[in-house]
Structure 1
Amino acid sequence: MPNRYLSPALQGLGAVSLTAPLVGVEAQIYDRLWNAILDRKVRPGTKLSEDEIGAAFSVSRTVIRKVLVILEEQGIINLPANRGAYVAAPTPEEALEVFEASRIIARHVVAELAAAPERLGAEERARLDAHYEMQKQAAAANDYHAMRRLVVEFYLLLALLYGNKTLAAAQERLMMRGAMAITLYQEHLVLWPPHQAHRPLVELIYAGEVEKAVAHVDQLYRTTEASLRLAPHDQEIDLLAILTADDGPALQISPKA
């Protein structure tokens, strides 16, 4: 499992194949940058120094540019001509479009799962339980970064359990961009801790309550959307230190035995 995922529930579901076919140091660079952006160590609008990335991984600009181009294709960074690389900073309008697109996918996935809850057998329900337990642990530890990551992974998990990897890949990218928008525009935490909002949704899916499940996930999204405000912040960061730190994704939360 690529080290950007915290949840053990994603193991064995093909999440690796959702991203670009990177291996070796290229995959390491991709995952490090992904982690740093999602954990808000590198904020939207920050310039990414290719020299610092090269120094962190001892690689050429050719390797770095390959990874950066993939990240640009996924909407995570921008590569303006002759100006270097910058973490994407979605405008308020773009942020709302991202949440709308992600909400549409989530509504579809939830509706399909609730319409046929029998497709969630013992193994699938065990994965959802494992993810729920990890969310509880993160909340108990007041680990804000882990909780944010696990929200992204919750919706990815639902899409993977539904069985459509194309939708899952799109949802993962949208959730990542949504997290970046929240970094810029959300002034106050909402729906916290997340597991208390997600578990009722899972129970509605199990019960086959299609309309209620769709209404629940719709409300979760709209509550988050309503919390967004125009409040971008500038912050200096040490990219070289972030990329060379041996800390992996956020804080590692171990699932209960």
Structure 2
Amino acid sequence: MIQSSHSEAAPQADDRAMAIRDHLRDAIVEHRLVPGTKLSEAEVGKLFDVSRTVVRAALQSLTFEGLVRAERNRGAFVASPSPEEARQLFEARRQIETGIARTAAINGKQADFARFEACLATESRLIAERGPASRRASIRASGEFHLLLAEIAGNAIMQRFMEELIARSSLVIALYGRTGASSCGHNEHGDIVAALRDRDAERASALILQHIDHIEADLDLRAYAERPLRDALLL
């Protein structure tokens, strides 16, 4: 009987942890929980009426996604890339992605362009939708466009670099993007694909450089005023 009761309780705890994760993620992406905010296990547990074990599972999931950082003996905090870290991130992307675009223009095949079109169609659908879930999905889809570009270029080492850069960029964009344009200009993606189809390596490289400039320009890296956890979570 004890074992059966435990097996029933475990899925419920997992569901609660994922629900709390989603609440916290929405608050982070919507800027209600600002970078650097401490996420106290005890306070979050009290707000959601769950154990600290459940809260810890939710925070661990967000840490894996890069939205939360865990500090030994201090606890969990909303991740807070500094303005300098953000600038270095986008400078790295400029240097790497311009070369990737040139190579993709040479290596791209017809099947690859079909994958690009599918990616652009997904972006169009998400842009037309509203709400935090759609915004998160739009940022993710935009990142996938850049990862596809790296994959088509055919350099496995560069592709792994891009996976890290895009993951960190998505965090910065989710936290600091102002207008939604920073989740990547859909029209600019289409222009890049057109240059790739034309095998115009220099134009593709110039367009990706301009595109990254636009993403960075849409970021607001000023400090945010911290809000109480209850208010930020709208509880």
Same fold (TM over 0.5): yes
Distance 1:65 1:133 in 2: 36
What one-letter code is carried by the residue in structure 2 that aligns with 1:76?
A: L
Q: Does 1:113 align with 2:113?
A: no
Q: CA RMSD in A?
A: 4.0
Q: Give the distance between the partners of 1:160 and 1:224, measured in 2 at CA.
A: 18
Q: Where do residues 96-175 of structure 1 align in structure 2 (5 Å cutoff)?
A: 96-104=87-95, 106-118=97-109, 120-121=111-112, 123-134=114-125, 136-138=127-129, 146=134, 150-160=138-148, 162=151, 166-167=160-161, 169-175=163-169
Aligned-residue offset at 1:160: 4.1
Determine if the alignment matches structure 1 residue 182 to structure 2 residue 167. no
1:219 equivalent to 2:210? Answer yes
Cα deviation, 1:53-87, whole Å, max 9, x if unaligned, reads: 43576654345335534644664323334333211
C-alpha change, 1:178 and 1:105, in structure 2 (3 Å) is farther
Query: Given the superposition, is the C-alpha separation of residues 84 and 169 from structure 1 closer, same or farther in structure 2, using an over 3 Å criterion?
Result: same
SS in 2 for 1:79: strand
Q: Is the 8 A contact 1:77 1:87 kept in 2?
A: yes
For 1:52 and 1:27, the matched residues in 2 are separated by 17
Q: By how many angstroms is 1:48 displaced?
A: 1.6
Percent sequence identity over matched residues? 27
Counterpart contact for 1:99–1:178, Cα < 8 Å? no
CA distance in 1, matches of 2:182, 2:20: 32
Give the aligned residue type for 2:199: G
* Rounded Cα–Cα distance in structure 2 between residues aligned with 1:212 and 1:92: 30
Q: Which of 10, 25, 30 matches 1:39? A: 30
Unaligned runs of at least 5 residues, structure 1: 1-22, 245-257
- Return 5+ residue gaps in structure 2 as ranges: 1-13
- How far, CA to CA, are the matches of 1:37 and 1:108 in structure 2? 33
Counterpart Cα distance in 1 of 2:58 and 2:92: 25
TM-score (norm 1): 0.62
The answer on whether the counterparts of 2:139 and 2:183 sit within 8 Å (CA) in structure 1 is no
Which structure is richer in relative contact order (CA contacts within 8 A, separation 6 or more)?
1
The equivalences for 1:77-92 within 5 A come to 77-92=68-83
Residue number among 51, 54, 66 corresponding to 2:45 in the alignment:
54
Give me the whole-angstrom Cα distance separating, in 2, the residues matched to 1:227 and 1:62: 38
Change (3 A) 1:121 1:192: closer
Is the aligned partner of 1:95 residue 2:89?
Answer: no
Would you say the 8 A contact 1:114–1:213 is kept in 2? yes
Give 3-state SS (helix, strand or coil) of 1:85's partner: strand
Provide the C-alpha distance between the structure 1 equivalents of 2:44 and 2:212, rounded to a whole number of angstroms.
Answer: 35
- TM value normalised by structure 2: 0.67
Number of residue-to-residue matches in the alignment: 216
Once residues 132 and 180 of structure 1 are traced to their aligned partners in structure 2, the CA distance between those partners, rounded to angstroms, is 16
Conserved? CA contact 1:79–1:85, under 8 Å: yes
CA offsets 1:206-238 (integer angstroms, 9 cap, x no match): 222222112211122224435656621214154
Deviations along 1:26-71, one digit per CA (max 9) or x if unpaired, are: 5555454344322323221222232354357665434533553464
**Measured at CA, do residues 121 and 99 of structure 1 come closer, stay the same or move farther in structure 2, by a change above 3 Å?**
closer
1:25, CA displacement in angstroms? 5.4
Question: Which of residues 186, 194, 206 in structure 2 aligns to 1:203?
Answer: 194
Tell me: CA distance 1:71–1:132, structure 2 relative to 1, closer, same or farther (3 Å): closer
